[in-house]
Amino acid sequence: MATTPRRFRDSNGNILTVSSLTPRSGLTGGFSNAQQKSISDELGAFVFFDKFEPYRAARVLVLRSKQVDVWPETEAFVRSISRVVNDVTRPPLVFDYTAEEVAYANQLMNMLTRYQFIEKEPHTKVIQLPAVSNSILTKVARQFSVENIIWRNMSNIFKVDQEHIGTFEPNKLDLKCTSRQFMTHLLLKMTTPPEFIQRFTVRQTRRYAESSLENLPEDVTNEIIRLTMEAFGLFRWELDDRMDDEQLRSSSWFLDLGKTDEDRRFVRQRIRDFRCTAKKTFRDMLQLALTEIRRCEVVEGQLVRVNHEKKKTGCTKRRAANVEEDPSLSAENLSFDENEYGQVNEKHQEDNKKYVKKLKSSRARNVPSSSHSMS
């Protein structure tokens, strides 16, 4: 919805509104005001209550800038919403926008910040939009299959047998959990000897503490991530940009994405968005998988996952130390004797009855008689 135009003064002191500002003459590119909406009306569609979407607005400005000079009216519009907008949304990545559109979006945000400073309004908060919803991740997890993926041998050291890949079966419809389990499954038999893989890790930054662990070669890291993405169906032909609607409707995978073509195209686009951001997610899962591999032990020439005992807390250590000092406190010596407990309980009951009887008699002696109280 379009925002209500706000009044302000120009450099000459004249009172103007956003709707009163029109592009300069000679720059309309053959379009009249009657044939095309004003820039303010188009940009107003990207203001929702107190939220503004600068990237979507920038895309409109790039298209209109080929016809008219967009900045005079745009600047007036940004100033008019500077007292209304509190939040600015930012997409997870700018892969869907050109460099020119990103530059226009940055210009809009800088302009909004400047006018809020002039109007002494609080600066807007940037809201980072999520890359994809959990429902979309669940749809991607349901597509997991290792039937058609093939490992490309990177070297004689790192390799995975095709039969070993096919033995993996996911036990959860969770993308992160399934990807971590699948990567751990690959790492169990990736090197010869198997424990050689425990020397490696995946670091996210170049700044790290001194460690004896080596960085996993980048080509091997990329190959494991590629296998995982391919197992989730993120390289399907339906996700290609060159596919038209007729080709997509012939795919049962595309038809299962929703009830209508609009819903299916939306889900398809969100999966494509996730594919562009997924490498960071899968890299994090590979790091966790390597951590899990280092907890494995070699049994009969193979890496086997071992459930290690939990570390003893301070309370447990103190209890163990007390048992060493006094063996009678051990669990074996602290046996429960029902007969002994019954005898002790009966003795307590008898003592309690005697105490109550004694208490009543003492109270009776201290209470004065009725005749004495009347006198």
**Between 23 and 360, where is the model more confident?**
360
> For residue 211, is it within any domain?
yes
> Do residues 114 and 246 share a domain?
no
Q: Is the pLDDT of residue 369 over 50?
A: no
> Do residues 31 and 87 share a domain?
yes
Nearest Cα to 134, choosing from 142, 144, 124?
142
The whole-number average pLDDT for the span 346-361 is 72
Domain closes at, from 112, 128, 144: 128
> Do residues 217 and 110 share a domain?
no
Q: Mean pLDDT across the chain, nearest whole number?
A: 76
> Do residues 152 and 299 share a domain?
yes
Nearest Cα to 192, choosing from 156, 225, 227, 229?
156
Is the bond into 5 cis (omega within 30 degrees of 0)?
no
The whole-number average pLDDT for the span 190-215 is 79
CB 169 within 8 A of CB 207: no
How many Å is the Cα radius of gyration of the chain? Answer: 37
> For residue 111, is it within any domain?
yes
Domain closes at, from 128, 162, 185: 128
Q: Which domain holds residue 39?
A: 8-128
> For residue 375, is it within any domain?
no
> Each residue of 143-189: pLDDT tens digit?
899 988 988 877 778 888 888 999 998 888 889 899 999 999 999 98
CB 304 within 8 A of CB 297: yes
pLDDT of residue 286: 94
The whole-number average pLDDT for the span 111-134 is 77
CB 170 within 8 A of CB 182: yes
Helix axes 218-231, 261-293, angle to 10 degrees: 140
Cα first-last separation, the chain: 93
> For residue 42, is it within any domain?
yes
> Each residue of 306-319: pLDDT tens digit?
765 555 555 565 65
> For residue 3, is it within any domain?
no
> Each residue of 135-149: pLDDT tens digit?
888 888 988 999 889
> Do residues 41 and 60 share a domain?
yes
> Do residues 143 and 53 share a domain?
no
> Do residues 211 and 82 share a domain?
no
Q: Is the pLDDT of residue 30 over 90?
A: no
> For residue 192, is it within any domain?
yes
Q: How confident is the model at residue 51 (pLDDT cuts 50, 70, 90)?
A: confident
* Domains held by the chain: number: 2
* 57, 59, 65, 66 alpha-carbon torsion, rounded to 10°: -150
> Do residues 32 and 69 share a domain?
yes
> Each residue of 252-291: pLDDT tens digit?
999 988 888 888 888 888 888 888 878 888 999 999 999 9
> For residue 374, is it within any domain?
no
Q: Is the pLDDT of residue 96 over 70?
A: no
> Do residues 97 and 246 share a domain?
no
Q: Range with the lowest mean pLDDT among 164-168, 238-242, 298-302?
A: 298-302
> Do residues 151 and 299 share a domain?
yes
> Do residues 121 and 252 share a domain?
no
> Do residues 297 and 211 share a domain?
yes
CA atoms of 193 and 140, how far apart (whole Å): 34
Q: pTM, whole model, 2 decimals?
A: 0.53
> For residue 77, is it within any domain?
yes
Domain closes at, from 304, 337, 356: 304
